[in-house]
Amino acid sequence: MTQPNALFLSFEGIDFSGKSTQARLVYEWFRQRDIPAMFVREPGGTALSEEIRRILLDRTYGTMCAEAELFLFSAARAQLVRETILPALSSGIHVIADRFHDSTTAYQGYGRGIDLDAVRAIHRLALNGVYPHITFFFDIPYEESRRRRALLNRPDDRMEAQDETFYLRVRSGYAALAKHEPDRFIVLDGCRPVEEITRTILQSIQERLT
């Protein structure tokens, strides 16, 4: 199926942990070397998945129940896997994902409190066997996330409007996932300077590419 040298990398963490900054820098690194790579963000990445994203982040749907949220994130991902990620990996293109299934386990499982076995069963259906090879978890304290959010000075979307206890559960959920799968996860201190974090990430990618 997938060529052994096509890496699937996911970037995870609570909001404002620096995932997108790093995922884009890594994508640029691939491009500058003419190494075939693709960048995707979740939820999104296909016409259907972007439409689902719009609904998920829209504060009009403040009463959306946790189960509907779980299915919507997973529906967006099922489409992205089949339409974009799997074809890319199958033709040797590395995939860099700004969030993937661990976000659902952390936010809807640990954060919302949906049964983790149910979440994992839905992943099996949605992912079609396409799990990331390496997952970078950017760990930052809740206070740092709030500090960065305040600097950006824009209105919260539906997901960002959660309270502190929610984010604490999400963060410790990620930590639990990383502990459970130490071979896949690389935990990074997201408070370090951007360039330092990028260096660590690129080091581990280069080790896997050679």
Among 7, 8, 9, 13, binds ligand ADP (CB under 6 A): 13
Q: Is 148 in the site for ligand ADP (CB under 6 A)?
A: yes
Binding mask 98-137 for ligand ADP (x = CB under 6 A): ----------------------------------------
Give the pairing of strands 94-98 and 185-189: unpaired
Among 22, 104, 135, 198, binds ligand TYD (CB under 6 A): 104
Query: What is the number of other CB atoms lying within 10 angstroms of the CB of residue 13?
Result: 25
Report how far apart, in Å, the C-alpha atoms of 48 and of each of 6, 57, 80, 84, 113 are.
Answer: 25, 15, 9, 12, 27
Binding span for ligand ADP by CB under 6 A among 68-76, 102-110, 126-134, 192-200 = 192-200
Max alpha carbon distance in the chain (Å)? 49
> Minimum Å distance from CB 43 to ligand TYD?
5
Out of ligand TYD, ligand ADP, none, what residue 104 binds, judged by CB under 5 to 8 A for its kind, is: ligand TYD
Among 18, 43, 173, 190, binds ligand TYD (CB under 6 A): 43
Q: Nearest-5° angle of CA 43, CA 70, CA 116?
A: 120
Out of ligand ADP, ligand TYD, none, what residue 194 binds, judged by CB under 5 to 8 A for its kind, is: ligand ADP
Q: Is 79 in the site for ligand TYD (CB under 6 A)?
A: no
> What is the four-CA torsion angle of 191, 196, 202, 205, rounded to 10 degrees?
-50
Amino acid at 97: A
Out of ligand ADP, ligand TYD, none, what residue 94 binds, judged by CB under 5 to 8 A for its kind, is: none
Binding site for ligand TYD (CB under 6 A): 15, 19-20, 42-43, 57, 73, 99, 103-104, 107-108, 159-160
User: For binding to ligand ADP (CB under 6 A), which residues are involved?
Assistant: 13, 15-21, 148, 152, 190, 193-194, 197
